[in-house]
Amino acid sequence: MKPITLIIFLACLYGSAEAQIKKEYVNPGPGYTHAVVVTSGKTKTIYISGQVGEGEDLETQIRSSFMNLKKQLSDAGAQFSDVVKMNTYIVRYKESDLDIFRSVRKEILGEKDMPANTLVGVYSLYKDEYLVEMEAVAVINTK
């Protein structure tokens, strides 16, 4: 193959791959978006921004955060079973918080095919009343 032919071929290949990537912003808020759907070929990857929960205690806020994640996933065309990765941030984390988190997660997600999860103890979130924030990444096939 001649060098110029190879260069043209690679340029076309790169251009067609780049053209297939599409971003959709779901539920944009002031200064950020709740979810971004990235479509590449027949695969959609959904990035859900951190969702906080309402309530007086950690358990209630964890449950509320999961419900907020569920709404954002649904609005983006996904569900909990499509989630492959979660990050969870708990304010003033202590070991007993893990039991609370696992109990609520089991109630909502079950025990099978759990997504990868990172749980991080943090000093604070953007408002003092929030005790937990969760973000997620989901992957679905398009039809």
Q: How confident is the model at residue 58 (pLDDT cuts 50, 70, 90)?
A: very high
Closest-CA residue to 108 (of 50, 68, 63) = 63
Higher pLDDT, 65 or 3: 65
Higher pLDDT, 5 or 48: 48
Give the pLDDT score at 143: 75
What mean pLDDT, rounded, does the chain reach? 91
Six-digit token pair at 11? 């340029």
Give the pLDDT score at 27: 87
**Under 8 Å between Cβ of 89 and 50:** yes
Give the pLDDT score at 142: 86
The class (CATH top level) of 21-141 is alpha beta
Torsion of CA 59, 61, 64, 68, to 10 degrees: -130
